[in-house]
Each structure stands twice: as C-alpha cells, then as structure tokens.
Amino acid sequence: MGAHGSSIKNLPVSKDVQAYIESGIEKDLFKNRAGSNFHEVINPASGEVMLSVPDSTETEVDRVISNARQQVDSGDWARWSPYQRQSALMRLADLIEKNADFLAELEMVNTGKLRRVARNIEVGASVEYVQYMAGWPTRIGGETLPTSIPAPEGKRWQAHTNREPIGVVGAITPWNFPFMMAIWKIIPALACGNSVVIKPSELAPLTTFKLIELIQEAGIPEGVVGLVTGGAQAGSYLTQNNGIDKLTFTGSTQTGKSIAHAAADRIIPCTLELGGKSPVLVLNDADPEAAAKTIAELVFLHSGQVCVAGTRIYVERGIYEDFADAYSAVVSGMKVGNPEEESTQIGPVQSKAQLERIENYLQESLSEGASLAAGGDPVNSAGFFVNPAVVVGSQQTSRLMREEIFGPVSALFPFDGLDEGIRLANDSDYGLAASIWSNDLSRINYLIPRLKAGTVWVNAHAILDPTMPHGGYKQSGIGREHGSTLIEHYTQLKTVCMLT
C-alpha cells in the first residue's frame, strides 16, 4: 500500500520463528522463574501478543549475579586465556552469521524493523562488531614505566601496569535495536574477561534470548552471560545489586539518570548512551534534491526510532524552499507497509504507547501554529503505523523541537549564516550526533569544532563502525562505545611497583 493507504496486510511468520516463540523460549529460558508479573511481547506489525515475559524476582537476580561472579572470580571463565576468549568470540561471529536470516526475522516480528534492515544492518553489522572485538583479548596489555625513585645499592625499581577485568557487568538494553545493543554490551565485556548479566527491554527481548543460546553454543561457559527479564522493577534489582561491578545502559536520559545515581551510590563505573535530538545542517551549496532524498532515507530509518536520528533539519535560507519542497515530496511518497515486503520503506513503531506519544507531539505542535508539509496521519491497521511526518513552522522552543520523539517525525527550520546554524544546532539538552551537508570545506571545517556533539558526519548521517567511538555530549550520555576506548571502560588499570 502507499503512504496514504487505509490498511496494512500482515504476512505470516515463518514456521521456524513461530515454533521458537511458542515453545523453545519458554521451555529453555523461563524455567524456574517465579516472577508474578508478566509483560506481553507484541508483534508491532499485527498488534498480536506473541508471548508473555516474567519479571525476574530479586532472589532470581541475586542467583544470576552470583553465578556470574563465580565464573569471573574462580570458575572456568576466570582461567581462560586471551586466546581462548578470542577463539570463542570468532566462533560466536560464525554462529550469528549462520543464523542471520532467523535472527533478522525474529527481530522483525519483535520490533517491526524492516526485514532488510534487520538482516543487512543490525545482524550484519553485529557480525562485523563481534569479529572486531574478537581481536582485542590478545592485544590488551599494560606498559613498562620508567621511574626516578632512588633504589638501595644493588637493587632497582621495576614498575608496570596491567589491565584486568572489572568483574560482573550489569547491562540494560533498549527496544529499538535490541540485538545490536546486546552485542555492544556483552561482547566487549567478554573480550576483556568480564562476565555479564543482561536485562533486555521487556518489549523486545526475543533476539537477546537467542543470542544467549548462541553464546553457549560457541563454548562460553554457562553463567558467564546471565539473563534477567522484565521491566523497571527487574532493572532496579539489577542496578542496585552489590554484586555488580559496572553498569552499562542504552536508553532514555531519564532512566539513565537513575542508573547513574545507582552507580554513584556504590562508586562503580557506568557507561550511558542516552537520548538524542540530532541536528542536520544543510548549507546553501548542497544539491537540495539529492540531499533531501538521502536525508529522508536516513531520518526515517526504522521509522525514526534511532537515537541519532536527524529529526531537527536546519536548512540555509538560500535553498530552504527548494529543499523543503523536495524533502516533503520524498517523504510523501514513502511506502508504509509490512516490514517483510522488500518495497516497504516505513514499518510500524514499537508499541501502541509509542504511537500515541507520536500523535500527541504532532497535535501539540499543530495547536501551537506549526503545520504538516507531509504525513503525520495514522494508518488504519491492527498494528502501530503512522505516515512519516514533516513539520514546518514549529518554534525552536517547542517540545517537538527539543524532546526526543522516537518516531517518524522530522521538522524543517531555515537559518541565515553559519553562526545562526551553530546556535540553533547547539540549542538542545542533547549532544549525541550531528551532520553537515555541504561540499565547501572551509565552511565544514568552521562548523565541526563548534558543534556540541559526540559524532559529526559530513554528507552522511547514522554511519557507525566498530572502530569509531560512539557516545554523546551533555545529557546524551557518559563514556563511549566502540573503538579502543572500550577497553578502558571494561578493565581496571593496576600499577605494579617492585623493588628487586
């Protein structure tokens, strides 16, 4: 159906995925779980309940953390050499690749993500990420330190550093890219010799369940990666448990603040990748039609449910009208439909609550005097679909321009000159990412150091690589994921000083 069609036809789930959902998960992963509260896991494209996930009790969380502690302190895992960890991670990468189609479909039915995005971006990039991290166990080392300490006659000082595992890592992942986020948390922790206890979002846990099975199939001892299920209460049990040595979280800034408090109470490190409201700056020398097409495709990746989504689009006034016309036309023509169909460009949002949140933001913006240049109307479907929206005339101070909506909504805003563009781009509580669209290197180089963002892309947006540190300024988080900086986040530095 087209972007303004009246319904969505839902295609059937494959027999393998259906069988896994109906029997394998509950049989293997939920045994001995006595949680009294359950959370429905829903297919966003159909609105159908696939299964219910229990809240882990405090006793269960204690048990899982205790098992992880035993493995990292004195179990088989503690005795593994760096070469063994490297080999196991390479086996895991092979298993993920072998199961890529299954994982992609599982991710599609649990998040509404387009099948090709789940297969090529989420699962495919995760294979590359595991392969990259697999190289680190045999490269983690310390350094010899020169000293100027006077030594007794016939003696000398020797000093060096070691990098050692932190211990048990508590990880909480979001619902938008649950498989990829689980990989980003678990794999660097394992590469550095830690154990992990992970709690996936109660809305989208299915691929995390499968990942834990593959980790065990790769030969990593049981208990090294433990599972906690449920919502906020289970997350609280995890983050406040004294057996956790480090916390890592991706999600909303509000939840991130509570996790930072939990870490501060026990003086343990935490890595937080939080909200974003990323600006896009389109300069006068850009080709308005070409830029509009590419930016639209990137803004609405996974229906805009991406932390770095460039939802604030600032266009220099000289090409604003041409860009706005081209961008609105592209967005109006985007096909909203079933995520399994190859021609679909926009799938459903994650939940009914998320759909209502998007509608509320749009209604509020329109009541304040903004208007829709494209889309914004809901789709008649049992699933959670909305046509992608282009908002014009919104005020910089409006909630739509300042808060993370996490849906297929973008706003256009003109600016005059680089300094005004910088002011508008930086006028945000967030600083996760930004992009510049231009071929004028002098203007590009003027902008880059002045944008308060953890990543700045030029003529691109939402491009990630395992080697590129990822994280944000301001309320977009603490610390970085990816790249060599990860090793510092997942190890303790020990100084050794000896008189010999």
Q: Catalytic amino acids?
A: 273, 307
Return d(Cα 195, Cα 323) in angstroms, integer.
50
By the 8 A CB rule, do 122 and 179 touch? Answer: yes
Three-state SS for 490? coil
Token digits for 137?
A: 């166990």
Q: What strands, in cross-sheet order, belong to the sheet with 312-316?
A: 371-374, 389-392, 409-415, 312-316, 279-282, 433-437, 455-458
Contact in structure between 166 and 193 (CB atoms under 8 Å): no
Q: Which residues of 214-246 are buried (b: 16+ CB within 10 A; e: fewer)?
A: bbeebebbebbbbbbbbbeebbbbbbbbebbbb
Long-range contact pairs involving 483-486 (C-beta distance under 8 Å, separation at least 24): 486/133, 486/136, 486/188
User: Contact, 452 vs 473, CB < 8 A?
Assistant: yes
Smallest CA-to-CA distance from 240 within 191, 199, 186, 182 is with 199
Kindly give the residue spans of alpha helices, DSSP state H, lying in 240-314: 253-266, 288-299
Determine the residue type at 470: H
